[in-house]
Amino acid sequence: MPLRRSGQDYATWLMLLRKGVTAYGINEPLVKYRVSSNSLSSNKFKSIKQVFDIQTKNESINIVSAAYNTFCFCLYAFKKHFIKGRVKRMD
């Protein structure tokens, strides 16, 4: 696991994926956790910066690609937390 104060889970996933491990996303929550006002996960702007830093420093992704990936991360997070449930799926 990468030695980081925060973002270790994300950095670990990227490291595993780089090594060829296959990962699959699921749309079902498997755990619950509490985020307090002073926790490492409470500040979303810091989380965005962490995503960018991990990609550029740990993964050596170029700045343009890291910026694009971080933008996509933000869009997905917004969709997940604010649009989920408001849009009906058409299966």
pLDDT for 32-88, tens place per residue? Answer: 877 777 776 677 888 899 999 999 998 999 999 999 999 999 998 888 778 765 555
Residue listed under structure tokens 């991360």? 73
**Torsion angle defined by CA atoms of residues 26, 31, 35 and 39, in that order, rounded to the nearest 10 degrees:** -90
The residue with greater pLDDT, 26 or 67, is: 67
> pTM, whole model, 2 decimals?
0.70
pLDDT confidence of residue 85: 57
Instruction: Find all residues with CB under 8 Å of 8, minimum gap 6, and list them.
Output: 1, 2
